[in-house]
């Protein structure tokens, strides 16, 4: 089932629960309600929003993520459910026991997938696209030559061109306190993606702080930062399209557009589904890799566009 994403930004709301329905109230009146089990992510970007304790605990019970935004309208905190997976102890043991060679092989697959996704974001007639595909073929276990960084330099130099051929200026790219600039759009999209990946990690019974490549004692989401890498280009592409469409402010319509990325159609083998659902397939393959049941990480990719008849 496709989980719903709720965003509260234009007007304040009070969140409560009744009969397992999340109620959105304003001035004491119910203005909306959604079954808690249907919710995947709640993004709160209005400073006057309030909650009942029951609302937060029931959302957690249903494996929903609550993302809280700050004054700059960018996410500042994430409320994640504690894993209640029946095999959480076994899976945590497998995760802790993952060998360094295994983690290096997994990171190689992540980097290859990311570079190929970046290449797909560039026009077929650009030499940069061919360079990225060539670099993807040079990634070795653990990416010791830092192909990821080499590819990023090429990718961003070419991504910063609008469709009509006018270069996007650095002023447009920078983030500022008014929420303008393409970087603020990218940061918002990345934060939503990170929260969704972290949710899938917890639901799978794994610990999001134990990464396969990222390792930082102050980062509680190292594994999420690892696994979101192949999907960052989805955000990049959407932000670029929004820029072409004239979006300049990170307002409610812009954020709603970015939240829609979670429903992007993805394919994995002979299975298709929205990104939010396919993230669980990715995590299922990771748990099998940790358990020694398979060697390759199964990473979903965007469904190819359908040609008009």
- How many CA atoms within 13 Å lie on the side-chain side of 126? 19
**pLDDT > 90? residue 139:** yes
Task: Say whether 88-302 and 4-79 share the same fold.
Answer: no
Query: Domain segments of the chain: what residues?
Result: 4-79, 88-302
Q: Which CATH number fits domain 88-302: 1.10.3720.10, 1.20.120.920, 3.90.870.10, 3.40.50.1220?
A: 1.20.120.920
Q: What pLDDT score does 309 carry?
A: 45
More confident residue, 304 or 32: 32
**pLDDT > 80? residue 272:** yes
The first and second tokens of residue 213, run together, are 């490549």
Pairing relationship of beta strands 65-69 and 39-44 according to DSSP bridges: parallel
Per residue in 213-255, pLDDT tens? 988 777 888 999 999 999 999 999 999 999 888 888 889 899 9
- How sure is the predictor about 177, in pLDDT bands with cuts at 50, 70 and 90? very low
**pLDDT > 50? residue 181:** yes
- How sure is the predictor about 9, in pLDDT bands with cuts at 50, 70 and 90? confident
**pLDDT > 70? residue 308:** no
Mean pLDDT of the chain: 88
Q: What pLDDT score does 168 carry?
A: 55
CATH topology of domain 4-79: Ribosomal Protein L15; Chain: K; domain 2 (3.100.10)
Q: What pLDDT score does 258 carry?
A: 95
Per residue in 14-40, pLDDT tens? 999 999 999 999 999 999 999 999 998
More confident residue, 152 or 83: 152
Evaluate whether 42 touches 62 at the Cβ level (below 8 Å): no
More confident residue, 107 or 10: 107
Q: What is the sign of the dihedral through the CA atoms of 114, 117, 122 and 125?
A: positive
Alpha carbon 57 to chain centroid, angstroms: 23
- How sure is the predictor about 193, in pLDDT bands with cuts at 50, 70 and 90? very high
Whether the predicted model's global pTM rises above the 0.85 cut = no
Per residue in 63-89, pLDDT tens? 898 989 888 777 788 888 875 555 677
- How sure is the predictor about 162, in pLDDT bands with cuts at 50, 70 and 90? very low
Evaluate whether 299 touches 282 at the Cβ level (below 8 Å): yes
Q: What pLDDT score does 176 carry?
A: 46
Q: What pLDDT score does 77 carry?
A: 85
- How sure is the predictor about 307, in pLDDT bands with cuts at 50, 70 and 90? low
């Amino acid at each position: 089932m496709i989980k719903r994403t709720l965003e509260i930004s234009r007007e304040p709301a009070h969140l409560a629960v009744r009969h397992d329905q999340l109620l959105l109230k304003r001035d004491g009146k119910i203005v909306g309600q959604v079954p808690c089990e249907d919710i995947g992510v709640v993004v709160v970007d209005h400073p006057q929003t309030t909650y009942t304790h029951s609302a937060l605990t029931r959302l957690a019970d249903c494996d929903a993520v609550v993302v809280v935004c700050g004054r700059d309208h960018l996410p500042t905190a994430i409320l994640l459910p504690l894993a209640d997976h029946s095999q959480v102890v076994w899976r945590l043991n497998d995760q802790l026991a993952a060998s360094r060679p295994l983690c290096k092989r997994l990171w190689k697959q992540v980097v290859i997938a990311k570079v190929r996704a970046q290449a797909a974001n560039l026009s077929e007639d650009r030499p940069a696209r061919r360079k990225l595909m060539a670099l993807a073929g040079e990634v070795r276990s653990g990416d010791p030559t830092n192909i990821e960084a080499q590819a990023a330099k090429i990718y961003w130099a070419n991504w910063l061109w609008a469709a009509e051929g006018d270069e996007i200026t650095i002023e447009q790219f920078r983030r500022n306190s008014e929420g303008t600039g393409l970087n603020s759009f990218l940061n918002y999209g990345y934060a939503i993606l990170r929260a969704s990946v972290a949710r899938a990690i917890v639901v799978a019974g794994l610990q999001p702080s134990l990464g396969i490549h990222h390792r930082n004692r102050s980062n509680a989401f190292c594994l999420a930062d690892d696994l979101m890498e192949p999907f960052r280009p989805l955000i990049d592409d959407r932000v670029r399209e929004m820029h072409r469409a004239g979006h300049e402010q990170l307002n409610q319509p812009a954020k709603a557009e970015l939240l829609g990325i979670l429903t992007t159609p993805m394919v994995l083998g002979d299975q298709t589904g929205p990104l939010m659902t396919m993230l669980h397939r990715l995590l299922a393959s990771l748990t099998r890799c940790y358990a020694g049941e398979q060697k390759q990480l199964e990473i979903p990719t965007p469904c190819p566009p359908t040609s008009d008849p």
